[in-house]
Structures are given as structure tokens and as C-alpha cells.
Amino acid sequence: MATESPNFFSDPKVVFSLVALVLSAISLIWTLSNQFEQNRRWDSLNAASVELSRPWLQVFREITRKEYQSIDWGYVTTLYSASDSIDRLQMVNGLRARGKNSHQLISGIDPASTVKELNEEITRKGYKGDFEMVKNYRPTFYLRNNGKTDAENWTASVDVYSIDGSWVPVAPVSKPMVIHPNQEVNIAFDILIPIEGIIPEKLPFRIKMSFQDVNGKLRQNEIRITWTSPLNYWVYE
């Protein structure tokens, strides 16, 4: 007569143990999944985020309309009305001199000078070489870390879109630095054009940034913004 061998799963204790093990595994998976989601949300809310907070164009001189009209500047300046008074004008270009061959700027000259004043200052300084005058525009981009943790090894560079259809570097990659939460840094640079030249109606820029977040992950970002010269207005792309 055949006898039935005992089944492993016929023991209720074994079944209860297996059920408990499965439930524990499910609980562990849920806990890990929940922790991962919480970490992801924490990273999203607190990770460093360096963004362009405001662009600005340097004002080299502020003057009343009457004063401006009484001065013989000797060249075409770029002017806008002050935001709080139409009677006050803001000159957003300077006048600089540079070596004709070296293209190195001659220091120590007030950029708000007229052509006559600049020539007189060059003579007074005893400069002997050939030089040329150029108009100087100085954009500044202010960038802020809107995250709640540091942006480590942050670097940035700025290019301008030239009339020949290519991007030209105007501000090289900066030395790596740490930007703390809510800290603001800036990138300022000069754009020089011939004294007889006219600034384009639209001047596109791109800002390329790179930094490491709190987890050591490399993050890269590119911001594009265009200055419209007729209205002295910045347009984000």
C-alpha cells in the first residue's frame, strides 16, 4: 500500500513564514521606492540652479538733454531716456582709444570723453604710436543660484552672434568657483566697434554654464538672450 509523503507546503508554519517573508519583501521594496521618490523630490527642490537674474548695459554718462545738445561729441553716441525722467539721457557707450596695430586699449582715459577731449588726453599722456578710436559697450549679466545647495566648480562663458553668422567669444570661461544659495555673481565684458559704426538692432548672446550639484552630478545649461538696441530692451529666447 502506497503512503503519501509529507508536502513541504502542507505545514501551516511554513506557509505563514513564506507569507511573512513575501510581505516583508514587498514592504522593503515600497520603502526603498518611497525613499527614492523623496530623494528625487528633495534634489528637485533643493539642488543648485544658477539662472540669469538680470542683464544690464553700463551707463557711461547721464546728462540732461540741454547739456547733451550743447556738447560737440564728434561722433554718434547711443542714448536712451532715463526710466524716471525723459529730460535726462543715459549714454550707454563709451569712447576708447587703442593701438592701431596691437588693438590694446590705452588706459587712464575717461570713456565719457568727446573726440576732442580724447585726442587732448592722448597728447597729454605722451602716447607716440598710431591709435584708433572705438565705441565701447559694456553688457553685464547677473546670475543667481536659486537653489538651496551650493553650485560647485561653476564656470561660464559668453558668446555674441556676429553679423557673419557665427558665435564669437566675448567672455572666456571663468575660473571655477562656488556659488552659494541666493548668491549672485556677474559676468561683465566689453564690445568694441569702430567709431563710425552703428550697433546692430539686435545683438544675440548665449551664456554657457557648467557646475556640479550637491551629489557631484555635472549640470550644464545654456541661456540665450538678445539686446534690442532701438528700445534698449532684453528679450529672452
Is residue 86 in some structural domain?
A: yes
Sign of CA dihedral 132, 113, 79, 52: positive
Indicate which CATH number applies to the domain containing 214. Answer: 2.60.40.10
Q: Name, of 22-26, 32-36, 108-112, the range with top average pLDDT.
A: 108-112
Task: Identify whether 9 is part of a domain.
Answer: no
Assess if residue 177 is contained within a domain: yes
Whether 114 contacts 95, CB under 8 Å: yes
193: containing domain: 52-236
Could you tell me if residue 12 is inside a domain? Answer: no
CA atoms within 13 A on the CB side of 196: 1
In this structure, is residue 213 part of a structural domain?
yes
Contact predicate 79/89, CB 8 Å = yes
Across the chain, mean pLDDT equals 86
Total structural domains within the chain: 1
Predicted TM-score (pTM) of the model is 0.79
| Per-residue model confidence as pLDDT tens digits over 149-182 | 999 999 999 999 988 889 999 998 889 999 999 9
User: CA-CA-CA-CA torsion for 70, 71, 74, 78, nearest 10 degrees?
Assistant: -90
- Looking at the domain assignment, is residue 35 inside a domain? no
User: Does pLDDT of 72 surpass 80?
Assistant: yes
Q: How confident is the model at residue 37 (pLDDT cuts 50, 70, 90)?
A: very low
Cell numbers of 206, please?
548665449
Q: What percent of the chain is predicted at pLDDT more than 90? A: 66
Is the pLDDT reported for residue 68 higher than 70?
Answer: yes
The string of pLDDT tens digits covering residues 186-217 is: 999 999 999 999 899 999 999 999 999 988 99
Q: Residue 33's pLDDT is what?
A: 53
Separation of alpha carbons 154 and 184, rounded Å? 12
- 110-143 residue pLDDT tens: 999 999 999 999 999 998 889 999 999 999 999 9
Asked if residue 30 is part of any domain, the answer here is no
